[in-house]
Structure 1
Amino acid sequence: MTGTAPRWGSRAAANGRFGHLVARTDVRLPGVDLPLLSVSQTRGVVRRSEISDAPPRADSLDAYKVCRKHDIVFNKMSIGAGAVGVAQEDGLVTYHYEVMRAFADSDPRFVTMLMKSDWFIGELVARERGIGAGPKANVRTTEVPFSVMRAVPIWVPTLDEQRAIADYLDEQTAKIDALIAKQNEMIGLLDERRVAAITHVVQRDGQSLTRLGHLADVIDCAHVTAEFVDDDSGYPVASIGQCQGPEVDLSQAPRTTAEFFRLLTFGDRAPQAGDLLFIRNVSVGLASEVPAEVEPFAVGQETVLIRPSRSILTRFVRYGLQSSPTKFAIESAMVGSTFRRINVSRIRALPVPLIPASEQIAVVDRLDSETAQIDALVTRAREHIALAQERRAALITAAVTGQIDVRTATREVMA
């Protein structure tokens, strides 16, 4: 099985295999004192302490792999993420990572860009091994052995050409990344503006807050790991991906069997119209309302149900959860290092604003109007980011497969 064949440029064609560029290295040195390294999708290989608040050292480092400066480190358990980079110092990495060393006639920066290209990732996905590789799988634990990876047919340019391609892509992707960073900064400012607008409306001067548990039932999920099916015959399971907007969106939800559906919805855990789905793991604080007309579904393990009493509008509760005092309380209540989460008891204790029922409709209508304008600007910024990311990916693939001559492209830019 192979991935989508690249549209090789007229000046290039597959003339080698990935194993012609690098060799796998797997060295363990018990007792060695080196920093722990991790691979970030955006920053490459960095010290673990720079991207995680997890303890910087493990109890025992004897099973860790040694990685030397200029080695290529690749997260083989997440092949579609493009988490790969060149080490800038000697260090230690876990067994989840593959460590490779470029041959003398190979530039590790070119190899890294090749591995980040959509075409190469497609080749690896086509060869992946592991659990949950289906398109609707909830968890993907996959791996491509180096013995398989090394056989992928590629275009192998000369060392000088590799360096030129790496230099060109470093420069061009840095420009694109700067544009993406500006858009993300704008989104951050708009998010702050949105929170301020909500807080101004729902939080009255001198008004006291009440506990969420006084206004709504907070129902924990079943903590059952469901099996998923690859067709539409099963029941949807909603989690983080389905809670990205004001209402729950099941269009891309994974589906489970009738047996697991019964386990997940046992008791009072079946979502009802007007409930809020609140995410308590990783993307803590996301909340979406269950619409009136929706097919029966269950909630995943990252999710709790918030079922407001009849005296309070669900939309008002959702806005209250997005106000400054409540968001601060959520942040303060979170626990965990690598995966942040909030316990159900702390969710029930969250302080939320409350106004008379007679005023709630006018308040939520006003906020719907005000936040819609901000949300439109956020959507536009995210569209710009998506276009920039597509251009970045296309540029990398075109360069590493010889579709463009980067030296000619560089001269055209300078002219």
Structure 2
Amino acid sequence: MSESLVPSAWKKLALGDVLRRRTERADGSEPLLSVTQKRGVIPQDEVGRRDNSSEYKGSYWRVFPGDIVYNTMRMWQGVSGASDLSGIVSPAYTVCEPAESVNSRFLAYLFKRPGVINKFYRMSQGLVSDTWNLRYSAFALIEVALPPLEEQRRIVEVLAALDAQIECQRQVVEKFGAVVHGFSEEQLSLVTRSAKTARLDEVADIGSGVTLGGEVEGGIELPYLRVANVQDGYIDTSEMKTVRVARSEVARYRLEDGDVLLTEGGDIDKLGRGGVWDGRIDPCICQNHIFRVRCRRDVIRPEFMAAYAGSIEGKEYFFGIAKQTTNLATINSTQLKAMLVPLPSVAEQDKFIRLMEEVRGRLNAEVVMSEKLLSLKNGLAEDLLTGRVRVPEAEAVVESL
């Protein structure tokens, strides 16, 4: 259904008709807020990064519950949210007060729609992506289709119910992940106790992914893995993005079944995080902040290498050689190549892998369920927010879960 074929009760309105820019300045005593792509508006101290805000906050904007807040320079990436909190945000954000005819939660969901984000992208101004910004004057001109207020409220209830299920499922995955990790540590200590060691570059080929942001004429659009896709012990493909790559570079960056993917760092919890790529998407590449380790399988199995990299001993190596600033840490390919890895016999490695496959069975099933729920939510959100599917149909889907 095109946007011109929305239900008759829906109205096409400019965002400026339903969102007035709030320009109330802070007095400096209010709590500092931030906006993230996934969690929306949250207290700044929950972001997990050092507070870089200026001491003087008289130029900051006030935020009230129900306001829509967006990152002026990252709205083209969908960084916005509806606030449940009172506080202040830096001048890098735009704060909007909703009219009585709109539900701010509905707008928060609407602003995550790919079609709407594309409008933000087209209306953003700047020479390069680092300077693109969506000023309120341009934002206010963007047209969207809005259902009646009561239908907005019911759509929010459906999507919020799915979000709650997704969060519960995330916690289940986290719980089983901790159990699997503990078992892995115990078994690794047994199998590596008297094993010989070798430098990683002696038993594996190490490379990195494609650098994002460059202009590529022609080429081919490929799905790629970001740092967010590479989790501790598994690869999450529930949210994939694409990048244009020169055809001559595809063979260089193309991932193979069995590649061990490790993150170079950033936030400390991402340092050396990784798992084994299973080729579920082909062709597929990864970004340059991810190392690709292609093991010599006759010497070291990929699954064993990934388990060792994620072990306490492996993490200690990464933390010991990483370049660190406050809560950020990174490693480079030279340091990764020099990593000493234990080499028990292939038979011992295979036995360890079989044991881990048994205990990972439940975890993998829970990860698959998480991906299905997120896929369902994304599809249902697109249908509801365009009027393609009406609320009663969506409610029946949610109730059947």
Report how far residue 38 of structure 1 moved.
0.6
- In structure 1, the partner of 2:8 is 10
* Aligned match of 1:79: 76
Counterpart Cα distance in 2 of 1:246 and 1:90: 37
Determine whether 1:381 maps to 2:381: no
Distance 1:114 1:274 in 2: 38
Displacement, 1:280? 1.0
Look up the match of 2:141: 151
Q: Secondary structure of the equivalent of 2:7?
A: coil
Aligned counterparts of 2:285 and 2:390: Cα–Cα separation in 1:
47
Distance 1:235 1:393 in 2: 23
Secondary structure class of the residue paired with 2:265 = coil
Distance in 2 of aligned mates of 1:167 and 1:226:
39
**Does 1:278 pair with 2:262?**
yes
* Contact 1:73 1:98 (C-alpha < 8 Å) held by counterparts: yes
Q: Which amino acid aligns with 2:185?
A: T
**1:381/1:356 Cα in 2 relative to 1: closer, same or farther (>3 Å)?**
same
Report the CA distance shift for 1:372/1:404 in structure 2 as closer, same or farther (over 3 A). closer
SS of equivalent to 2:193: coil
Query: 1:187 pairs with 160, 165, 173, which one?
Result: 173
The answer to whether the 8 Å contact 2:21/2:94 transfers is yes
Q: Greater share of strand residues, 1 or 2?
A: 2
Greater relative contact order structure (CA < 8 Å, 6+ sep): 1
Which of the pair has more CA radius of gyration? 1
Counterpart contact for 1:84–1:116, Cα < 8 Å? no
How far residue 85 of structure 1 moved from its aligned partner, in angstroms, is: 1.6
Q: 2:299 aligns with which of 293, 305, 312?
A: 312
Counterpart of 2:42 in structure 1 is 46
2:188 counterpart of 1:202: yes
Within-5 A mapping of 1:9-28: 9-14=7-12, 16-26=13-23
Question: Which residue does 1:67 correspond to in 2?
Answer: 62
Return closer, same or farther for 1:278/1:92 CA change in 2, 3 Å cut-off: closer
Structure 1's 107 and 327: CA in aligned 2 closer, same or farther, altered over 3 A?
same
With over 3 angstroms needed to count, the CA separation of the structure-2 counterparts of 1:105 and 1:305, relative to structure 1, is: closer
Judged with a 3 Å threshold, the aligned counterparts in structure 2 of structure 1 residues 253 and 153 are, in CA distance, closer, same or farther, namely closer
Give unmatched runs, 5+ long, in structure 2: none
Give the percent of matched residue pairs that are identical in Structure 1 and Structure 2.
17
Could you tell me whether the CA contact under 8 Å between 2:28 and 2:56 is conserved in 1?
no
For 1:124 and 1:148, the matched residues in 2 are separated by 9
Q: Tell me the number of residue pairs that the alignment of Structure 1 and Structure 2 aligns.
A: 380
Question: CA offsets per residue over residues 39-80 of structure 1, 9 Å max, x none?
Answer: 134543222112223126435546x53124244211231334
User: Quick check: 332-341 or 314-323, which moved more?
Assistant: 332-341
Structure 1 residue 90 corresponds to structure 2 residue 79: no
Instruction: Please tell me the root mean square deviation across aligned C-alpha atoms, in Å.
Output: 5.1
1:135 aligned partner: none
After the TM superposition, which of the residue ranges 34-43 and 343-352 deviates more from structure 2? 343-352
How far is 1:286 from its partner? 1.8
State the Cα distance separating 1:199 from its structure 2 match. Answer: 3.4
* TM-score normalised by length of structure 2: 0.69
C-alpha separation in 1, matches of 2:222 and 2:132: 25
| Residue among 342, 349, 355 paired with 2:344 | 355
**Equivalent position amino acid for 1:73 in 2:** V
Deviates more, 1:140-149 or 1:203-212: 203-212
1:104 and 1:226 map into 2 onto residues whose CA distance is: 40
**3-state SS, counterpart of residue 69 of structure 2:** strand
CA distance in 2, matches of 1:39, 1:198: 36
Q: Residues 228 and 256 of structure 1 are in contact (CA less than 8 Å); yes or no, is this contact kept in structure 2?
A: no
